[in-house]
Amino acid sequence: MARIGMIGIGLMGEAMARRLLERGHAVTAWNLEPERLDLVVPHGAVAAPSPAAVAAASDIVLSCVLHTEAVRNCLFGPAGVAAAGEACRGKVLVDLSTIPPDAAREAARRLRAEAGMGFVDAPVSGGPPAARAGRLTIMAGGSGEDVATVEPVLRELGANVTRLGEVGAGQAAKMINQAIVGTGFLVMAEALAMAEAAGLDAAAVPAALAGGFADGALLQRIWPLMQARAFDPPLGYARQLQKDLHAVEAFAGGLGLDLPVARSATARLDAYVGQGHAMADSVSVIRLYRPDPG
């Protein structure tokens, strides 16, 4: 069993760390807010004082943090992974965060130059329940050798693990994923608002539409949560989806594309987060259209 480092114990990091512990791996963990470590240390994880300490204690390092700046701080800050020096050489870091492809490529270049460490960008989709069950979808970018090194660990977390190319390819695929997911959340909210306003039994709609062109994971998994107003505990924060949609817009702009549907979804999510719902579950965006029952 590889010794695993886990940098970032947010909703996803916690779920992944606990999955790896249950699968028999030794896990060393760090989080910017150290109180989050209380969610994994009782299950067998060892708390580390810094990302550098995580890297020194691990064979493979995983990072799952909020945004590009957080990735840079964890890798290249004063106590970041690269500060571990020779203890990193020959190891591979897997970044499971969602960041722009060019940021992943720059991180890979610096990590190789400063620490002799490989880098795989492997953003995920599926949410904490899928992470706990080992059923994430994982989109990987990196050299064939580096991806092969970390693939056994990725397959502990994901039921669908695909190498899409060199570093940055995983994040490019995640931009596509988030364009579909981000706009899809708003479409589900608007469709649910129509169903409720029309007096339909909204809870019956996913089964009624199953097998048709409208069917899919969003209809079968997100609609029921929206319809039941099942927002707590959150499975993903609205601020995170907002950040990802802005990243989609920036990525598309860099390709010379204008995506008006994604732009509209981003504006609606901006409005929702602006109402004070940054830390609410993304599915609660139904509140833009319909008040909570009761």
User: What is the token pair recorded at 266?
Assistant: 């981003």
Cβ-Cβ contacts under 8 Å for 33 (sequence gap 6 or more): none
Is 174 known to be catalytic? yes
Please report the sign of the dihedral spanned by the C-alpha atoms of residue 144, residue 150, residue 155, residue 157.
negative
For residues 14 and 29, what is the distance between their CA atoms, to the nearest angstrom?
10
DSSP character for 276?
I
Matching residue, tokens 């590009």: 68
For residues 49 and 47, what is the distance between their CA atoms, to the nearest angstrom?
7
Choose the catalytic residue: 36, 105, 174, 243.
174
Q: Which of helix, strand or coil describes residue 275?
A: helix
Q: Is 100:67 a contact under the CB 8 Å cutoff?
A: no
Apex 147 CA angle, 174 and 120, nearest 5: 50
Catalytic residues: 174
